[in-house]
Amino acid sequence: MPFISKDWRSPGEAWVKTDEGWEKKKVLENSKMIKSKNTDDESGMEKEGTLQPHCQITIKCTKEIAGFNELDEVVKRLDFRNAVKDVRRFNYICALLDLLIGQQMTALSGCAQKALLAMLEEVACHVAKSHHNPRSFRKLLAKLRALSSAEKSAYWGAPLGSQLLWDQHSIKINKIFKLAAQMQICEKDYQPHLLQLPEECIREIILRLSDHRDLQASSQTCDTMANIVSEQRVWRELTKFHFTNQQIQMALDKDNFHGDWKTLFNSLKRTYGLTEELQYAEMLSLCKYCRCLFWRSLGHPCIADQSPEFRERLQKAGGPMPPSPVPPSAFLKFFSL
């Protein structure tokens, strides 16, 4: 039954037509505020107060709240496009795009598809400009090529979705491919170069890598890196970073350990997998009181901070509970995908 008036059942949303299609007015206004804030920051004219991108979501549907979360709205409210430029959030955004770009993307709404391609275009522009994290972008590019080929597959002689929508997607995809073709990773004229540093300094850099794939790639560059990566200390520290002492001790007791920490790391990885939360410098968090998603470093306007009475009740109950980390796989569970 269509809504004939604004009542407790109606969302009461106002929509505005833009060049990219119809947008919710409140989401559009929020995006303009964030864009204005970022422009002021870049020009050195930051306004008073800190804008905190956040988005309240529906955790559980009830009779009173028969709601759902719209992926494109949440992405815009959390300012994902500008988050690409933050080195702490880049890997998180790429991991999310990696889960979505592919066959699953054809099942998303048109607005969500446009939002994701806009994020991917932002990733392409950022990598082409900064020359940082090209490996993550190439992985996304391979999935995008597969998606572009799948788009040409026909059901009853036409691609999934409207022809106009996919024509717009094709223009965006071709633009991303063009950026990728023009991208050249050139060696910066920095002094000294990495391999000119003392071996002790190179070792300290290697010890701060949290991804085993980066260690393996580093070992293939030169003999010096290969010798450092083969040291037991490097794999021991990586093992302690990803696994608890209890897990390590259980593996030591179970396996006949001969001092090979690389073998032990691979064994633990097969058994427990890698802790997803430890792979990102910055993650989304979920407030247990406001039901808001927010970036951990930026915070959000929480009821626990704004209401003295609520804060007092929390103190009597044992203090406020920390927000829950939300890795990319958990983030997608908030949507009907």
Can you tell me the distance from the alpha carbon of 271 to that of 48, in angstroms, rounded to the nearest whole number? 50
pLDDT at 197: 86
Can you tell me the distance from the alpha carbon of 123 to that of 144, in angstroms, rounded to the nearest whole number? 13
Helices 134-151 + 110-130 axis angle, to 10 = 140
The contacts of residue 92 (CB under 8 Å, 6+ apart) are 83, 280, 282, 283, 284, 328
Query: Model-level pTM?
Result: 0.71
In the chain, the percentage of residues whose pLDDT exceeds 70 is 76
Whether 97 and 116 have beta carbons less than 8 Å apart is answered as yes
Whether 277 and 283 have beta carbons less than 8 Å apart is answered as yes
Can you tell me the distance from the alpha carbon of 49 to that of 190, in angstroms, rounded to the nearest whole number? 37
pLDDT at 31: 57
pLDDT at 29: 55
pLDDT at 152: 56
DSSP tag of 273: -
Neighbouring CB atoms inside 10 A of 140's CB total 22
Low-confidence ranges of the chain (pLDDT < 70): 1-13, 19-50, 60-67, 102-104, 149-161, 185-190, 255-256, 276-278, 337
pLDDT at 62: 55
Can you tell me the distance from the alpha carbon of 104 to that of 229, in angstroms, rounded to the nearest whole number? 38
Which of 94, 189, 185, 182 lies closest to 144, judged by CA? 94
Helix, coil or strand: residue 286: strand
Which of 8, 11, 35, 36 lies closest to 24, judged by CA? 11
Q: pLDDT tens across 14-24, in order?
A: 777 776 666 66
324 pairs with which residues across the strands?
286
Residue 83's identity, in one-letter code, is: A
